[in-house]
C-alpha cells in the first residue's frame, strides 16, 4: 500500500471519531485538517478526506483553509477517497453536502477519485454529493443511523483498500 493519510474536519468530534476508525482500519494516521500543509499532501499518495456538513450543505469550517492547501498542491496522480457526516432527517435536502463541496473544489485536480457508494439504503431528499446516481464518497449519519455506521465503514474500507 502506498503512503495513505486520513484528513478530517470535525466540530463536534463525530467526524474525528469516524476518521480515527477509518485510519485504524487502513493502518495509517488521522490528521486534523487544521494541520494540513503542502508537505503533508506531497508526502502521501492517497488522501482520505472527511468532513461534517453544516448549515445548507456546507463544509466544516476548518476545511475552507484546507481546501485552499489542496487547491495549491499538485494532486495529479494521487488517489482521493471522500467521506462525510450528515443528518439525513433534519437536513434531508442537503445530506452530506460537505462531501460535494470538497469534491467540487478539487475534481479538476488530476487526482483519481475512488470510493463511490450507491444511494440504496439511504433516506434523503437531495445531496450535492450524488454524482451520476452515486454518492462520490461514504455518507454517514451517526445521529439517525448510528447502527449502520460501523458496517458502512467496513464495507467502504474493503472497497477502497485494493486501490490504495
pTM beyond 0.85 = yes
- Return mean pLDDT, the chain: 96
Instruction: List CB contacts of 38: < 8 A, sequence separation 6 or more.
Output: 69, 72, 73
- Interval 38-96: pLDDT, tens: 999 999 999 999 999 998 899 999 999 999 999 999 999 999 999 999 999 999 999 99
Spatial CA neighbour of 50 closest among 98, 106, 91: 98
Alpha helices in 32-131 (DSSP H): 38-43, 63-72, 97-106
Distances in whole angstroms, Cα of residue 122 to Cα of each of 52, 98, 113, 134, 144: 17, 17, 21, 11, 11
Amino acid at each position: 500500500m502506498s503512503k495513505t493519510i486520513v484528513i478530517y474536519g470535525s466540530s463536534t468530534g463525530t467526524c474525528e471519531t469516524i476518521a480515527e476508525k477509518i485510519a485504524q482500519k487502513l493502518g495509517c494516521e488521522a490528521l486534523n485538517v487544521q494541520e494540513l500543509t503542502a508537505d503533508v499532501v506531497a508526502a502521501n499518495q492517497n488522501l482520505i478526506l472527511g468532513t461534517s456538513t453544516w448549515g445548507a450543505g456546507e463544509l466544516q469550517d476548518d476545511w475552507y483553509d484546507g481546501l485552499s492547501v489542496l487547491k495549491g498542491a499538485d494532486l495529479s496522480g494521487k488517489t482521493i477517497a471522500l467521506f462525510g457526516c450528515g443528518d439525513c432527517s433534519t437536513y434531508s435536502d442537503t445530506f452530506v453536502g460537505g462531501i460535494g463541496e470538497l469534491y467540487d473544489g478539487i475534481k479538476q485536480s488530476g487526482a483519481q477519485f475512488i470510493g463511490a457508494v450507491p444511494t440504496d439504503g439511504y433516506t434523503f431528499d437531495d445531496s450535492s454529493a450524488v454524482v451520476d446516481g452515486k454518492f462520490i464518497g461514504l455518507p454517514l449519519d451517526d445521529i439517525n443511523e448510528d447502527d449502520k455506521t460501523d458496517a458502512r465503514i467496513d464495507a467502504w474500507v474493503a472497497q477502497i483498500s485494493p486501490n490504495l
